[in-house]
């Protein structure tokens, strides 16, 4: 087992927990459908978060040829799936056995934390990539990460339900375009 294989296990566990939380949350929403009023913004973000987590796992393959892992370099890289994993827990309230679940209220209550973490993840990835490669990437991938960060920071401050829904759909479409352009093939 090489360094990448060993270190990727922890990354995979964290991403797996995030994806598991999203899928379990989706199943629980179906089970509680009589007591949960749908909230399109939350549902859209669940899809986006699923895609982001899969993309982070997919992009981890690029680290396979990095022979220079240090504890702090790995810790910095690990912050990316950690921040995204926490967002998967913020996007949905605890779906216990309450009489009613208010997805919209939960979204607006956690909005600053949710978007703050979403804004942090691509910035952390840019810092990690810059330190790993010795230079700031100046490409379409870096531009997307900066645009995503900007959209997240604006959404953090916006209270408008309409804006939040339009932003969620715009980010979903933007992210689908991003993974289509940059990640259709492995390596």
Model pLDDT, residue 62: 78
Model pLDDT, residue 64: 79
Is 154 within the bounds of a domain?
Answer: yes
Is 30 within the bounds of a domain?
Answer: yes
Is 118 within the bounds of a domain?
Answer: yes
Is 124 within the bounds of a domain?
Answer: yes
Is pLDDT of 52 > 80? yes
Q: Write out pLDDT tens, residues 98-140.
A: 677 889 999 999 999 999 999 999 999 999 999 988 999 988 8
CA distance 10 to 8: 5
Domain that holds residue 124: 3-182
Decide which of 91 and 140 is more confident: 91
Is 19 within the bounds of a domain?
Answer: yes
Q: And the tokens for 98?
A: 């309450």
Q: Count of domains in the chain?
A: 1
Is 187 within the bounds of a domain?
Answer: no
Model pLDDT, residue 185: 60
Q: What is the mean pLDDT of the chain?
A: 91
Is 80 within the bounds of a domain?
Answer: yes
Q: Write out pLDDT tens, residues 5-51.
A: 788 899 999 999 999 999 999 999 999 888 888 899 999 999 999 99
Model pLDDT, residue 7: 82
Model pLDDT, residue 65: 78
Is 99 within the bounds of a domain?
Answer: yes
92-103: average pLDDT: 80
- pTM here is 0.92
């Amino acid at each position: 087992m090489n360094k990448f294989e060993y270190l990727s296990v922890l990354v995979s566990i964290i991403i797996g927990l995030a994806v598991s939380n999203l899928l379990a949350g989706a199943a629980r929403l179906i089970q509680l459908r009589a007591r949960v009023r749908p909230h399109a913004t939350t549902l859209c973000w669940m899809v986006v978060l699923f895609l982001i987590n899969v993309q982070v796992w997919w992009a981890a393959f690029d680290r396979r040829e990095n022979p220079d892992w240090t504890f702090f370099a790995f810790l910095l890289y690990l912050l990316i799936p950690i921040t995204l994993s926490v967002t998967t827990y913020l996007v949905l309230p605890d779906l216990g056995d309450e009489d009613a679940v208010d997805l919209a209220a939960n979204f607006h209550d956690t909005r600053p934390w949710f978007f703050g973490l979403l804004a942090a993840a691509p910035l952390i990835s840019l810092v990690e990539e810059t330190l790993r490669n010795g230079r700031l990437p100046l490409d379409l991938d870096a531009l997307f990460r900066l645009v995503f960060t900007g959209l997240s920071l604006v959404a953090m401050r916006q209270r408008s339900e309409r804006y939040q829904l339009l932003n969620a759909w715009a980010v979903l479409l933007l992210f689908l375009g991003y993974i289509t352009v940059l990640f259709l093939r492995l390596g």
